[in-house]
Chain A
Amino acid sequence: MTHTLKIEDLHVAVGDKPILRGVNLTIHHGETHALMGPNGSGKSTLGMAIMGHPGYEVTGGSITLDGEDVLAMGPDERARHGIFMAFQRPMAIPGVKLADFLRHATTNVRRPERKEGEELIPMREFRKELKDNMAHLRMDVEFARRYVNDGFSGGEMKRAEILQLAMLQPKFAVLDETDSGLDADAVRLASESIADIGHQKMGLLIITHHDKLLEHNPPEFTHVMLGGKIVETGGKELAEELHRQGYDRVRKSHPQADAVNQEMLAEEATV
């Protein structure tokens, strides 16, 4: 059975400010979707809403995974159902080693029915898998002994997110600017790793400004978000066009959405 993540007419507000204004998006397992759009258009908000961030209130519409209501699930249940997001700004958890964090996370995600306090996956088995994945990502094993994202450089954080993607093997993954803040070599490494781990093996929703990531992970679908809505959907060639020419054409074709986008950006600037 192929898995399907379906977003229908999704409205999301932060505080009393509407951000998403009717998003429709269907992702099948194995597909790669690129989500592009100018700043403030609502791309990251969609990621947060998919994961269930308490600060992002869904005011209308639905998200379902194989017909199951995702909005009724807490973020941890969503993770256990196979939904993942690589954070644009991952949080530091001082005092907690990345390896310990991942062992617990991996156990919970692989055994969704696990109760608190029950055994974690065996240490030996976990260590081997972690080591293999780290070698594959060309990461030093010492890295796993560091505290989660504590004092990590931007590049280290992004690689740690990719490592988590590799360990957790979700059905669907949102990658929120996993290539930002990296130098050219690091972007290539990240792009190759993601292709290796996720391309055609998961449903990927890639939020990006760069073309490198999409070069290694050619999207079947490219969506353009503007003013809290997906205003255009195309293939790989749409992503290429946007990289070459920017959003001017899209803005002109969708003046109403563009006006909303400008307004949202202006409001964001005053906060």
Chain B
Amino acid sequence: MPQTSLSTFDSAGFESFVASRPQPDWLLALRREAWQHAETMQWPERRHEEWIRTDIRTFQIQKYPAPVETDATSAVDVLAKMESIHQLRDGVDLAGSIETFDSHLVNESIDESLVAKGVVFGSLERIAAEHPDLVREYLYTAFDPDYDKFAALHAAFWSGGQFLYVPRGVVIDRPLHIGSVMSDGGSDTSHTLIVLDEGAEATVLHECNSVTTDAKGVHLGAIEVIQKPGSHLRYVNLQEWGHKSFNFGHQRATIGRDSTLQWTIAAMGSMLTKVNQTVELTGAGANSQVNGVMFTEGRQHLAYHTQQHHRAVNCHSDFLYKAAQQDQSRTVWRGMIKVDEEAQKTDGYQRNDNLVLSASARADSIPGLEIEADDVRCTHGSTTAKVDEEQIFYARCRGFTRKEATRMIVSGFFQQIFDRITIDSVREALGAAIARQVREYE
């Protein structure tokens, strides 16, 4: 890494950041406000309920460059490698794609026939300037820039990003792909905004990688999904940031009447992750299924805080997180089903299963319910198990090596999630990502 005097996430860095890019005044005003808030806010401490299990004292934001400018040569190199870095697009006929490097746009495309139907897909930063009214209407309607210091920093510094708008009744039958790559020691501040108008349908495959498996870096990200009545979204996130990176994310979907959201999250990367994932069911009959996979190794620490917030009648939410931990790694899953008083006939389900693969790995599982309506069905459960030596012996007696046996048992553990994924490339990429990470146990 060349040591130059890069701008970082401080006042000077913020000024050079906003000076480095043209943007509409309203957006600049939002950024300045967010920066003011970020400056006054404290870093979360372990005494805060959400951070009891997640220690960020080793995180020093001034070590990372603000997304002021990018090293153009390495961006070109990365672009050439994009094909091999990304997996979700393998063999998939795509309707469009966006590639970013350190959250700078390097490539974007969208099928012309969709543009003709009014679909808008591409860099959020570019579209915010070109279609300010469209972006302004939805930006920060699902994401709260004042939630915590990470959210405020993100709102001040988000860069590049992705925007999808699918107009009323338009069905995109091929997946759209979003690929984010981060340099070693770099930063990614992508903001993803997805809006499906009434009756619209889309599939988005979104994956995040670093240039190498053990790269450093920081992701300060946010995802906003807004679904109007009767819309249907399948959304897949594969998180494979480098294993020395920090990953902080706020991810929130609000889904309207009779809409469906299938959201699959696979988290394999980063050294430390803290993500808040919320689905807000705001219209009667909305239905969301969230599938989460976490697979950790080394000293990785992945914390996912999920919330399924029922705000209307007759909604259904089904969250299943499955996590396997190796070495000295740790996962934290904290789930909450929140049911408002008016959300009668809610059907809510949450479950977290853990497979602990080594004696020094750890899984924390904290399910929770907050129910104010009286006619609901909410169930939750969590299990934690170890790989059974007897299972391994049995498989070895059938000719499996220990590694093959472990790999099979681990993928068997995740099978329930695979069974719920309807996109072949996603199942394959996930299977391959899990297989790569299974190590030799002796």
Contact = CB atoms under 8 A, between A and B. Distances in A.
A and B: interacting chains: yes
A237 B411 CA distance: 50
B403 A116 contact: yes
A87 B394 contact: yes
Interface string A81-107: 000110100111111100001001100
A79 interface: yes
Interface string A140-177: 00000001000000000000000010001000000000
Given A96-B409, A96-B415, A90 B394 contact: yes
Given A54-B389, A116-B403, A93 B397 contact: no
Nearest to A85: B397
A92 B416 CA distance: 15
Interface string B375-419: 000000000000011110111111111111000110111111000
Contacts of B411: 95-96
A54 B393 contact: yes
A51 B399 contact: no
A39 to B, nearest CB: 21
B400 A108 contact: yes
Given A78-B397, A91-B390, A95-B412, 12 more contacts: A53-B393, A54-B389, A79-B396, A87-B394, A91-B394, A92-B391, A93-B394, A93-B409, A94-B412, A96-B415, A105-B398, A105-B399
Nearest to A75: B396
Interface of A: 51, 53-55, 74-76, 78-80, 84-85, 87, 90-96, 101, 104-105, 108-109, 116, 147, 164, 168
B402 A104 contact: no
Contacts of B396: 74-76, 79
A79 B397 contact: yes
A96 B397 CA distance: 16
A55 B393 CA distance: 10
Nearest to B391: A91
Question: How large, as a class, is the contact surface on chain B?
Answer: 20 to 34
A76 B396 CA distance: 4
A95 B416 contact: yes
Given A95-B411, A95-B414, A116 B397 contact: no
A172 to B, nearest CB: 13
Given A91-B388, A94-B413, A76 B408 contact: no
Interface of B: 388-391, 393-404, 408-409, 411-416
A93 B416 contact: no
A2 B388 CA distance: 37
12 contacts: A78-B397, A87-B394, A87-B397, A91-B390, A93-B394, A93-B395, A94-B413, A94-B415, A105-B399, A108-B399, A108-B400, A109-B399
Given A87-B394, A94-B413, A101 B399 contact: no
Contacts of B404: 104, 108, 116
A109 to B, nearest CB: 4
A116 B401 CA distance: 8
A237 B409 CA distance: 45
B398 A164 contact: yes
B398 A79 contact: yes
Given A54-B393, A96-B415, A104 B409 contact: no
Contact of A96 (B393, B401, B412): B412
A233 B58 CA distance: 70
Most chain A beta carbons < 10 A, residue from B394, B411, B414: B394
B409 A75 contact: no
Most chain A beta carbons < 10 A, residue from B395, B399, B415, B416: B399
Nearest to B407: A116
Given A54-B389, A91-B391, A116-B404, A147 B398 contact: no
A79 B397 CA distance: 6
Given A53-B393, A74-B396, A75-B396, A93 B401 contact: no
B394 to A, nearest CB: 4
B124 to A, nearest CB: 39
B411 to A, nearest CB: 7
Contacts of B388: 91
Most chain B beta carbons < 10 A, residue from A80, A90, A96, A164: A96
Contacts of A93: 391, 394-395, 408-409, 412
Contacts of A94: 412-413, 415
Given A101-B408, A116-B404, A95 B398 contact: no
Nearest to A92: B391
